[in-house]
Structure 1
């Protein structure tokens, strides 16, 4: 769960008008291209979010990074479980194999890296247990489960795609300039390697194939799931940066008597 940077980043911006023109002309497009065109503000906005700009600069408040890691551990635990559920329900052999391998890889790889971060920062099990799951982390995980429960494995895997795809691009972008804080640099290196890029490309290719073999209704659900997940990825940076908490509600009992 992975989840801004400098003014030198220049990418062509796709507009809704250009997207509609392509669809109206009946040009067949890959899922990955259509989906990315629909989420430009959130995707591109991640690279300039202060969580990442300050992480790269080494000025990010350690308390913010600590909070992010705890929330991300919750997210990744359920991300791995969702892969396992998709592997159980998928009909296609390639989706079944990818989901099973991803579930195992998360358990053996990224979750282990997170534990290493916890050990470095002395984040204890007691601290994790005492930290409430933030609203954004809770809603993001719930959204992804919903895609499988109320949708299909195709829709669910599309809703999971923004996480590895965005984090891989973020890692490569941040790797252009090292963070002076060792643990922040280690976080960047987790997502900037060639192996991570290969995994991301395989995931995109798989979802493109699934999209091509889905019904029109299912294709729209896949795009919607991807869009909401991308919005939640951006919200995850916001959640961590502002140490998001659940609202406490009103303690003013006089309101009932008015």
Structure 2
């Protein structure tokens, strides 16, 4: 069994918890309160800006041409998606430039991006890309799961289509291949560290949606 197949099986309970999130269930049936989605999309915009930086660092550290190309392309796409947020979702959900300028990362967003930045700065390339992978793979699973049950018409249809798109699935597959290749050349302790990075990032995915659903901000 490959590293990715093993860790994906290992986090199956966490993946079920993600798919059972009220945020995602209500997004699928179109009943998610706009305020919750507005909170999510603002935080996601902040997240993507930092995620693009982490992908760029992964590209610079990649030992292979495939890795350099994949992660540099991923950084570019993250920036492009951030621009699409401004042009579509921000307009649809009445998010003004002033709201964007005044927003700051929530505890969940800052925790997640800070964790990825710490992997980029202090840990191995193998751990870094294992921590990067859940943002691809979890979103692909969520997009496909929601697409199959989503009500139509749905105010969140564009979001659903983005992450259920076959092109996104193919990008996920390519990153999985890079992670598996790195794991196959690593020691047992290094693979354990990779698994920890993957699990931690996947937990942050759960926290990000939970935070958006409850519109959590700094308590003080």
Give yes or no for TM over 0.5. Answer: yes
CA distance in 1, matches of 2:32, 2:153: 9
Following TM superposition, by how much is the alpha carbon of 1:37 offset from its aligned partner in structure 2, in angstroms? Answer: 2.5
Structure 1 residue runs without a partner (length 5+): 1-28, 249-258
Equivalent residue number for residue 195 of structure 1: 167
C-alpha distance in 2 between matches for 1:71 and 1:181: 25
- Aligned residues: CA RMSD: 1.4
* 1:112 equivalenced with 2:83 (yes/no): yes
Unmatched segments (≥5 aa) in structure 2? none
- Write out per-residue CA displacement over residues 124-181 of structure 1, whole angstroms, 9 at most, x where no aligned residue: 2210222331100000001111112121122111101011111111111111133345
Matched residue count: 219
SS in 2 for 1:51: helix
Name which one, 1 or 2, has greater alpha-carbon Rg: 1
Which residue of structure 2 lines up, in the alignment, with residue 39 of structure 1?
11
Tell me which moved more, 117-126 or 206-215: 117-126
Taking the aligned partners of 2:84 and 2:149, their CA distance within structure 1 comes to 22
| 8 Å contact kept, 1:55–1:179 | no
- Tell me the equivalent position of 1:87: 59
- Residue deviations 1:50-97 (CA, integer Å, cap 9, x gap): 001111111111000000000011111111111111112222222112
The aligned residue for residue 208 of structure 1 is: 180
The reply on whether 1:240 has 2:212 as its aligned counterpart is yes
Pair 1:167-2:107 in alignment: no
Distance in 2, Cα, partners of 1:83 & 1:62: 30
Runs of 4+ in structure 1 deviating by more than 4 angstroms, as ranges, are: none
Q: 1:134 aligns with which of 73, 97, 106?
A: 106
Higher relative contact order (Cα pairs below 8 Å, separated by 6+ residues): 2
Question: Could you state the TM-score of these two structures normalised by the residue count of structure 1?
Answer: 0.81
- Aligned-partner SS, 2:149: coil
SS at match of 1:183: coil
SS at match of 1:235: helix
Q: How far apart, CA to CA, are the structure 1 residues paired with 2:119 and 2:190?
A: 11
Which range moves more in the overlay, 146-155 or 133-142? 146-155
Mean Cα deviation higher: 60-69 or 115-124: 115-124
Which stretch of the first structure deviates more once superposed, 119-128 or 161-170? 119-128
The answer to whether residue 41 in structure 2 is matched with residue 69 in structure 1 is yes
TM-score (structure 2 length as normaliser): 0.94
More helix per residue: 2
SS at match of 1:224: helix
Cα distance in 2, alignment partners of residues 163 and 79 from structure 1 = 9
